[in-house]
Structure 1
């Protein structure tokens, strides 16, 4: 039996998913995902196929990072990012603090009037899970295009001040969810770090008993083809809820959420 104090999720309590970036052309002719920002989580891309780029916007300005197989790119909270698909771009995505991104730690760059009104924001960004696939894709494209309006305003606005105003509006929008996020962080990334601390304490004392609690886990995607913000997602459940060895994955309806 695994020690009750052990953490058995992915290393560091991260989340992992596979992403095929949208190939839908936007108004500027670029095939891309939806620009957005994370408020508490860093994100990393491991490019596994195709070619593209990630456009980023921080207080230091705009940057374009090319993406090709073998590239690893990452950025910290506050980075507005837009994935660009130039040729069948496919990525393995690593998200800090598993559970937080899925619980809403992402705000799309919608125009300010949407950010100031939680109901309007939800109406513009939620994809109805029970709608036909064509309707879900229409909503996903519409919210991408609306976010691009706000994104262009940020890029063309008054530099860091415009971005700072967006950050403040995004923080106000998610504030009601912070306690829920804190609970997820406590069960995930914090628990993983604390487990390492206990292991170090035991090893320093010459105690290797925790090594007898070793486990091996593997799994296939628990959900495939989800309509995320950046593209179609295959989602893995690798946190403390995961159990045992690999199990078959079944295609799931494309719904809202994800990266």
Structure 2
């Protein structure tokens, strides 16, 4: 199977959760990617992206037509203030599913891999929506502590979170390299090969042009960290 979607990215349609966390804010579970960059293209509704990054804590308004993206290490929380629906592009397709995401659970949960896995799991039973809400609420608790510390000028808790996140993914990170090589790196190398071909007058690849269409997942939307997801198969 050849991965052909531009940039080796993945594509999904996200309906951001509408129920409120204990702080009264509606939305998803705050989390961070260690390697991948994520982009939101807002197609409907309004909301915000709350983030903790190298500039501290800040909030970006989201409305139809907004395009925002955030690089590895950005702790982000999708906030729904009315019917927020987003097209999500994620670099390094397959990497988030391979563990390139850590939720902002409190430090005692982050320090125990078994406790983290239990808190992050939503299982496969009928009560998944309740488990999603519980893990979101736990992540919000940790997010609030990180946010407050950053606002107060104390970088310690954020540095501790980075260290804990790195420890959690350490064992699986060695398997991420092949995903990057097989998808975004392979596409970049293919593009370079085409530029060299055109430069020498070889246009054979133009005769291989094709239209591709992404196939949406069937059935109910899956439970994601930020909302209900409709994923798309963007492989040949």
- TM-score of Structure 1 vs Structure 2, range by shorter chain: over 0.9
Superposed displacement of residue 217, structure 1: 1.1
* Alignment partner of 1:226 is 2:226: no
Q: Give structure 1 stretches of 5+ with no counterpart.
A: 244-259
In 2, the alpha carbon distance for the partners of 1:163 and 1:202 equals 48
Superposed displacement of residue 85, structure 1: 0.4
Superposed displacement of residue 8, structure 1: 4.5
1:52, 1:85 within 8 Å by CA — same for their partners in 2?
A: yes
1:60, 1:160 within 8 Å by CA — same for their partners in 2?
A: no
In 2, the alpha carbon distance for the partners of 1:206 and 1:220 equals 35
* Alignment partner of 1:137 is 2:129: yes
Corresponding residue for 1:70?
65
Structure 2 SS opposite 1:24: coil
User: Cα deviation per residue 1:70-92 (whole Å; 9 max; x = unaligned)?
Assistant: 00011100000001100010000
Corresponding residue for 2:195?
200
2:15, 2:229 within 8 Å by CA — same for their partners in 1?
A: yes
Corresponding residue for 1:185?
180
Superposed displacement of residue 213, structure 1: 2.0
2:11, 2:90 within 8 Å by CA — same for their partners in 1?
A: yes
Corresponding residue for 1:171?
166
Q: Give structure 2 stretches of 5+ with no counterpart.
A: none
In 1, the alpha carbon distance for the partners of 2:179 and 2:83 equals 34
Aligned length: 232
2:3, 2:183 within 8 Å by CA — same for their partners in 1?
A: no
In 2, the alpha carbon distance for the partners of 1:70 and 1:60 equals 24
Aligned pair partner of 2:138 in 135, 146, 161: 146
2:47, 2:62 within 8 Å by CA — same for their partners in 1?
A: yes
User: Cα deviation per residue 1:9-65 (whole Å; 9 max; x = unaligned)?
Assistant: 211111110000001111111111000000001111000000100100113211110
The runs of 4+ residues in structure 1 deviating greater than 4 Å are none
Superposed displacement of residue 178, structure 1: 1.2
- TM-score, structure 1 as length reference: 0.86
Structure 2 SS opposite 1:39: coil
In 1, the alpha carbon distance for the partners of 2:210 and 2:154 equals 50
Corresponding residue for 2:148?
156
- TM-score, structure 2 as length reference: 0.94
In 2, the alpha carbon distance for the partners of 1:61 and 1:120 equals 28
Aligned pair partner of 1:30 in 13, 20, 25: 25
Aligned pair partner of 1:122 in 100, 105, 117: 117
Structure 1 SS opposite 2:233: coil
